[in-house]
């Protein structure tokens, strides 16, 4: 499958207003995908949609609080009402609070779990009926993290949330396989985003992965339609140690 065959497909991208989500939304629009961009900041979403539409594709901005169940349901209804179908879902929205476990507040722990795990769960639940109806292969891509596999000091809540997302992703992949829905997990190390800047202020930004590089991996996954399926992609900074 070439990127040309993505033209006309419909995607939801959460956390689309900046960073990795924005790069993915722009990349999809560049290849003719109709993009529903979801985030909390309307101004940034409208600017994103303007950029996508300037490249000749369709888009819609849907202000969405991923912690609110009705917002998630409204997001899916808006996409179906606007485009009539759904083929691709990218769960990218996420937050982090960093510090030692003994200094982590319960409310921060709960908020991270709500955004990073409960949000993707609700969206996956709502979109599965529509992805089943996709004319061809459908995809759910969950942007996880290196901390979904490993553990780092001062990142307990964030790490726990990404481990939970990885667990849900594994079960989801098994449950929807029979419907031709492919589920992928991308686990990046340090990406040049505001979240990583907060978590790892010690890192030199010049050695960080660029959001566009993660978008390229998403494109690679979406253009595989043969018998080989890639379940999980581990991505590290070139300056960091290999995973194996």
Query: Using N-to-C axis directions, what is the helix angle for 156-176 and 119-131, rounded to 10°?
Result: 20
What are the start-end ranges of the H helices in the chain?
19-30, 42-54, 69-83, 106-113, 119-131, 156-176, 194-199, 211-222
Among 130, 152, 158, 179, the active-site one is: 158
Query: Cβ distance 89 to 139 under 8 Å?
Result: yes
Query: Using N-to-C axis directions, what is the helix angle for 42-54 and 19-30, rounded to 10°?
Result: 30
Mark whether 130 is an active-site residue.
Answer: no
Please work out, in degrees rounded to the nearest 5, the angle formed at the alpha carbon of residue 48 by the alpha carbons of 61 and 196. Answer: 105
Across the chain, how many H-helices and E-strands are there? Answer: 8, 7
Structure-block tokens of residue 141: 């891509």
Query: Residue 117 and residue 212: Cα distance in Å, rounded?
Result: 24
CB atoms near residue 81 (< 10 Å): 9
| β-sheet with 181-188: strand ranges across | 59-63, 34-39, 10-14, 88-91, 138-143, 181-188, 232-235
DSSP state of 210: P
Residues annotated as catalytic (active site), given as ranges: 158
């Amino acid at each position: 499958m070439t990127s040309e065959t993505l033209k006309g497909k419909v995607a939801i991208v959460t956390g689309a207003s900046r960073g990795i989500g924005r790069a993915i939304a722009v990349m999809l629009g560049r290849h003719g995908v109709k993009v529903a961009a979801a985030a909390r900041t309307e101004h940034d979403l409208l600017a994103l949609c303007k950029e996508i539409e300037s490249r000749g594709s369709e888009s819609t901005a849907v202000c969405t609080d991923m912690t609110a169940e009705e917002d998630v349901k409204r997001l899916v209804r808006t996409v179906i009402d606007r485009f009539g179908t759904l083929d691709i879902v990218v769960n990218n929205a996420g937050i982090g609070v960093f510090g030692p476990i003994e200094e982590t507040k319960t409310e921060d722990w709960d908020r991270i779990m709500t955004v990073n795990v409960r949000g993707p769960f609700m969206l996956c639940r709502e979109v599965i009926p529509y992805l089943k109806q996709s004319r061809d292969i459908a995809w759910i891509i969950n942007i996880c993290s290196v901390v979904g596999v490993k553990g780092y000091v001062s990142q307990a809540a964030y790490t726990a949330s990404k481990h939970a997302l990885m667990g849900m992703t594994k079960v989801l992949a098994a449950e929807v396989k029979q419907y031709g829905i492919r589920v992928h997990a991308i686990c990046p190390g340090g990406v040049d985003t505001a979240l990583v800047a907060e978590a790892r202020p010690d890192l030199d930004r010049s050695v960080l992965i660029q959001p566009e590089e993660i978008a390229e991996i998403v494109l690679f996954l979406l253009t595989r339609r043969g018998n080989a399926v890639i379940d999980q992609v581990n991505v590290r900074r070139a300056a960091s140690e290999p995973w194996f």
